Amino acid sequence: MQPGVRTAGRARRAPVIIEMRTYRTKSGLRSAFLDIFRSRSIPAHHDIGMKILGPFLSVEDPDVFFFMRGFPDLASREPMKAKFYEGALWKNELEGVLLPMLEKYDVVLVEDNDGLIQWSSTPKARASESR
């Protein structure tokens, strides 16, 4: 749906864009990775306006976790990612620490056309989302 399109008398917004991200850390490093991810990366994402839901830990593999990263729309995705990955926090701190801990990661990009994902906007709720 395009921004401003009216359906049944009300405007509908462009669908939220979500990256479904699956990470495999090197053996035994998931907990250390997630400590940094939760304390440094998630708050930086929120400051930029990206939403994080998760992480969710695999019950079948101790080195795998999943999270969703949300963007208001497709047009905002690349500029928001650039602000994070070209920023001082990533370049000077996180990139050199987190990337060596990863064995691999996969990203699937989806649209939330039906508004199924509800992102909380309160600081308390954001903190609980990141645990």
**80: CB partners within 8 A, 6+ apart:** 48, 49, 50, 71
Architecture of domain 13-112: 2-Layer Sandwich (3.30)
pTM to 2 decimals?
0.78
pLDDT at position 116 is: 76
Cα 25–Cα 28–Cα 31 angle in degrees, nearest 5: 75
**Which pLDDT value is given to residue 112?**
86
pLDDT of residue 119: 64
Q: Could you state, in order of their start, the residue ranges of all structural domains in the chain? A: 13-112
Please give the chain's pLDDT, 131 residues, in tens.
444 433 444 455 678 899 999 999 999 999 999 999 999 999 999 999 999 999 999 999 999 999 999 999 999 999 999 999 999 999 999 999 999 999 999 999 999 888 777 666 544 444 444 44
Asked whether the beta carbons of 82 and 22 are under 8 A apart, the reply is no
